[in-house]
Structure 1
Amino acid sequence: MSLKLADYERQAKQATMAFWGNREKARQKQIEAGNIDQGERAGVTAGKNMDGFIALIVDLVEQNGLGHAELHQTSAVVTLPGYFRPTKKWDLLVINEGRLVAAVELKSQVGPSFGNNFNNRTEEAIGTAHDFWTAYREGSLGNQPKPFLGWLMMVEDEPRSRSPVRDRSPHFPVFPEFQGASYLKRYDLLCERLVKENLYTAAALLASPRSASTTGEFTGLSELTSLKTFVTTLAGHIAAEAARS
């Protein structure tokens, strides 16, 4: 099976430039309007910062044999049933012949509040996947093959996200791999374990500095959590679905 990867490296650089550029545009727009959000919130309220990565995923789907599939991106049509809650909205759904082929969520975190945000993102990612697979087991999607579940995270690459972090656990020790680990390393471990525990089919971590608004620069921390692994895994899943239909 020959997979097409949609020139993902070039597209990812463009998506990264758009991510930082859109944040700055949103911030400037609020300054001009005299309505400034606290801290980094000014850069995220526009809500379109990760659209370049959605476009990359859409191209992967189309190039690997599902150009005819339903690709849902708007808020009104990206909802799936849950088990512990009624519904959950995703960033992108791929549906083919009534089957859910893929559901993808894209998140980002920009400093300075890495600690609280890391915990929130971790709880969201684990809870979302557990809810989804429990609902799937209970027949929420009907009798169909397991879909691809994807989680992609963009984190600002800066000294605070790469610095060692201390934890307090007065009664029992923290696992060794987390001791002194930076927030980027913690995200890398999170993505790795989300996949190894079968919560997500693929989970990618991208680290990018603010200067990437002009360069598109981003890096990964490990092969398992790299963008390449994410896109090749997704492309393979899409090609398999295309062969089935």
Structure 2
Amino acid sequence: MEQKYTQQIATAIKAFWNTKKKQGNVLAGKQLDAFLTLLTKVAINAGVPSDCIYLKNNHIPGYYRATKDWDLIIVSPKKNLVVAIELKSQVGSYGNNLNNRTEESLGSSDDFWTAFREKTFTCNQSPWLGYLMVVGKDKNSTHKVKVNEPHFPVRPEFKDATYLDRYRILCQRLVLEHRYNAVALVATEDKNHYENLADNISIETFINSLRGHLLGLADEFK
């Protein structure tokens, strides 16, 4: 990976924590803006014109619902959908929100790919669908979580697993089952630290996958 992206990932982590620290109603939803800036830079460096990159009002028609507003989309000058990306974060309240994140990620991808199959939006070829998750690494996300098994045993990988383990399993399986073209899971303790929990869901792998897809579609942007 180019050094400039490594530096900008670190910058995005700092911005995430700085925004969270001073967050109020005005700043709600802004914690991941620096990651959007990073992904925009990746796209522009891969030859995508800036006016093809959309960071707001990104409603794409669905199949099970009317539309979904994605965090970043790329639409070519030929009006083909090329990329759609969802960004999420979770620091604290892991038990309350992990199931919600699981259901959201699965539901969004299922709706997207079914709408694509039904030619609900225009594409020259299969679009690139991405999911990026930033999760806190702290005492609450790194302790082993008790599982409830009143009727049937859970799968063995979930026994003695932490919340970070569960996020890792989710993200790896979203890729394994082709729900997303790439998924990034970034764990962070504070503004000076972040880590990947597995190579195949690292933020570097995510960026390289996005960049490769865009470079392969250079003619789409001419």
TM-score w.r.t. the length of structure 1 is: 0.85
Instruction: Give the match for residue 174 of structure 1.
Output: 154
Which of 203, 217, 221 pairs up with 2:183?
Answer: 203
Which of 151, 162, 165 pairs up with 1:185?
Answer: 165
Which of 18, 23, 43 pairs up with 1:21?
Answer: 18
Are residue 229 (structure 1) and residue 205 (structure 2) matched? yes
Are residue 114 (structure 1) and residue 111 (structure 2) matched? no
Instruction: Give the match for residue 147 of structure 1.
Output: 127
Contact 1:78/1:91 (<8 A) preserved: yes
Q: CA deviation at 1:144?
A: 2.5
Distance 1:202 1:58, change over 3 A: same
Q: CA deviation at 1:5?
A: 4.8
Question: One-letter code of the match for 2:41?
Answer: D
| Counterpart Cα distance in 1 of 2:211 and 2:219 | 12
| Counterpart Cα distance in 1 of 2:123 and 2:198 | 35
| Counterpart Cα distance in 2 of 1:167 and 1:224 | 26
The number of equivalent residue pairs is 220
Secondary structure in structure 2 of the residue aligned to 1:128: helix
TM-score w.r.t. the length of structure 2 is: 0.94
Instruction: Give the match for residue 50 of structure 1.
Output: 32
Identity percentage over the alignment?
42
Are residue 220 (structure 1) and residue 196 (structure 2) matched? yes
Are residue 89 (structure 1) and residue 65 (structure 2) matched? no
Instruction: Give the match for residue 86 of structure 2.
Output: 105
Secondary structure in structure 1 of the residue aligned to 2:204: helix
Secondary structure in structure 2 of the residue aligned to 1:65: coil
| Counterpart Cα distance in 2 of 1:95 and 1:244 | 10
Q: Structure 1: where are the runs of 5+ without partners? A: 31-43
Secondary structure in structure 2 of the residue aligned to 1:142: coil
Contact 2:86/2:130 (<8 A) preserved: yes
